[in-house]
Amino acid sequence: MKRHQVTIIDIAQKLNISKSTVSRALTGHPSVRTDTRQAVMELAQQMDYQRNMLAINLSSSQSRTIGIIVPEFVTSFFPIVIMGAQEIAAQSGYSVLISQSNETYETEVANAKVMLANRVDGVLISMTRETKNFEHFDVFKRKGIPLVFFNRVCHDIETPKVVVDDYEGAFKATEHLILLGKKRIAHLAGPPSLYISRKRLEGYKDALRKHKRPILDDLIISYDLTLEKVKIYVKYLLDLPTPPDALFAVNDPTAIEAINVIKEQGLSIPEQMAVVGFSNDYGSALIEPGLTTMAQPTREIGQVAAQLLLDQIHTDSSVWKPITRVLKTELIIRGSSQRN
């Protein structure tokens, strides 16, 4: 049942003026007589007229919407990033279209199509862990739609990126464990397909090197971030002839899961096994003992990414620069790596 929508034409007719004038009055165009504008505004209010963004969007060929594609919604990380981005977008009058790729390449491609169909003015994206082919991003470049990567970025595409200093963060986290007196520090790493996994691994190794510690391949495990597997790997580590006395996990959910397994096995944290995570997720302060972690400025990632995107949207594509913004991490020390 579509009842009639109130349009500027309705207003124009009642006021016996043209729709052009109504349009100008409503959009704040200077060359409209004050009394005319007044009358239009009042009548609009009275008829509860709402400007039709659908028409405005078509007319202006832009949606005033930015798209965000994230791999998942389960951990608190992405929702917080989205919140940050949404804030910045809203300040400039932009809406946000959200879609999750479910860590699946095909869904990511489909989502990209939806973004295109909806004529978003730009896209913020953090890739699936299985995305290795980047052709579906080319079309954005061809169509002149700016793209900003965050967190899980693609280095094969020239586009702005927002990341945290994964290398430095991992370096500091590992060094923290070394300075704590830990001798055998294990690393539960992410999949090598992710740049952040590789960088964190690198930081871990370099910290060991700096302090002249051996890098033991036994103690480095790469996994695909499906949490169910953490138990297997942690048990494996604990069952080694000479087990590690510390664990640096690639992210907080992994670390939290690891803590649960370690406690289950009856080991004391941090005495027998210290644990450090990465990102300072919501649960990290709650678990017992509290999780030492490299905090990422999660909300800020969203804000910075959105700002970068808006900047691109508002400048000519010929002057786009593929800036990479590297945000700092901060070591938060809690019980999992602290002698009481």
Partner DNA sequence: CCATTTCGTGGGAGCGTTCCCATGAAATGA
Partner DNA sequence: TCATTTCATGGGAACGCTCCCACGAAATGG
> 């508002």: which residue's tokens?
314
Q: According to the binding rule CB under 8 A, does residue 55 interact with a second copy?
A: yes
Q: Does the protein bind DNA through residue 59 (CB under 7 A)?
A: yes
Q: Which residue in the set 100, 151, 222, 254 belongs to the binding site for a second copy (CB under 8 A)?
A: 100
- Note whether 24 binds DNA by CB under 7 A: yes
- Residue 104 sits in the site that holds a second copy (CB under 8 A): no
Instruction: Choose among DNA, a second copy, none what residue 207 binds, the Cβ cut-off being 5 to 8 Å by kind.
Output: none
Binding segment for a second copy among 2-10, 212-220, 221-229, 235-243 (CB under 8 A)? 2-10
Report the residue from 14, 19, 37, 57 that binds a second copy according to the rule CB under 8 A. Answer: 57
Q: Which of 51, 155, 210, 235 binds DNA (CB under 7 A)?
A: 51
Map tokens 């965050």 to a residue: 150
CA 56/CA 43 separation, integer angstroms: 20
C-alpha 75/C-alpha 283 separation (Å) is 10
What gap in Å lies between CA 221 and CA 184, rounded to an integer? 14
Among 28, 45, 117, 340, binds a second copy (CB under 8 A): 117
CB 207, min distance to a second copy, A:
28
Q: Which residue number, 19 or 325, has a Cβ lying nearer to DNA?
A: 19
Among 118, 133, 242, 268, binds a second copy (CB under 8 A): 118
Question: In this structure, what token pair is assigned to residue 275?
Answer: 């644990």
**Tokens 């999780």 appear where?**
291
Q: Judge whether 101 and 114 are in contact, CB under 8 Å.
A: no
Asked if the bond preceding 191 is cis, omega within 30° of 0, the reply is no
DSSP secondary structure string, 289-303?
SPPEEEE--HHHHHH
Our finding on whether 119 is near a second copy (CB under 8 A) is yes
Q: Of 323, 44, 273, 307, whose CA–CA distance to 160 is shortest?
A: 323
Q: Please, which residue, 34 or 226, has the CB nearer to DNA?
A: 34
Does 149 engage in binding with DNA (CB under 7 A)?
no
State the nearest-atom distance from the C-beta of 19 to a second copy, in Å: 16
Site membership for DNA, residue 16 (CB under 7 A) = yes
Beta bridge partners of 246: 185, 274
Give the position of tokens 């978003």.
120
For residues 74 and 129, the answer to whether their CB atoms sit within 8 Å is: no
Please give the residue ranges that form the binding site for DNA (CB under 7 A): 5, 7-9, 12, 16-21, 23-24, 26-27, 30-33, 36, 49, 51-52, 54-56, 58-61
